[in-house]
């Protein structure tokens, strides 16, 4: 009785499914990182607005005490740190959205065309 031979490598369809799953996981990780960065930017913007308002209110005082001046300096330093954090986001989502969707659209089409050509050639 002859035993069936074990294939040395999985069929090509299995490889394609694994490749697709790996790419899909990578897209999900990228999306999660983008979502996390977006939430961080939103928190920083809210904090920046609060600090600017507090700075404005404290600077309206006609006779600032040394404590108020120290608080003003501290608020100014916090605002500078927030500015640096916000500037690290060089691209806004609006400017990134169009190239992102084009990459998804044409990248997806490329994968589909590649699968079709590979199935026709294989």
For residue 98, is pLDDT > 90? Answer: no
pLDDT of residue 91: 53
Give the domain ranges of the chain: 30-90, 92-122
Q: Give the pair of three-digit tokens for residue 26.
A: 């990578």
Residues 9-56 have pLDDT tens digits of 555 667 777 888 888 888 888 888 888 888 888 898 899 999 999 988
- C-beta separation of 105 from 63 below 8 A: no
Residue with tokens 């983008």: 34
Q: How much helix, strand and coil, in percent to the nearest 5, is found in the chain? A: 80, 0, 20
């Amino acid at each position: 009785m002859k035993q069936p031979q074990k294939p040395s490598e999985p069929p090509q369809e299995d490889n394609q499914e694994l490749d697709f799953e790996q790419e899909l996981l990578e897209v999900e990780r990228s999306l999660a990182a983008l979502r996390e960065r977006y939430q961080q930017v939103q928190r920083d913007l809210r904090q920046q607005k609060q600090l600017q308002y507090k700075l404005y209110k404290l600077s309206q005082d006609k006779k600032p005490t040394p404590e108020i001046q120290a608080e003003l300096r501290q608020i100014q330093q916090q605002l500078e740190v927030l500015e640096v954090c916000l500037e690290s986001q060089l691209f806004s989502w609006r400017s990134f959205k169009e190239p992102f969707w084009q990459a998804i659209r044409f990248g997806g089409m490329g994968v589909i065309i590649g699968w079709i050509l590979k199935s026709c050639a294989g």
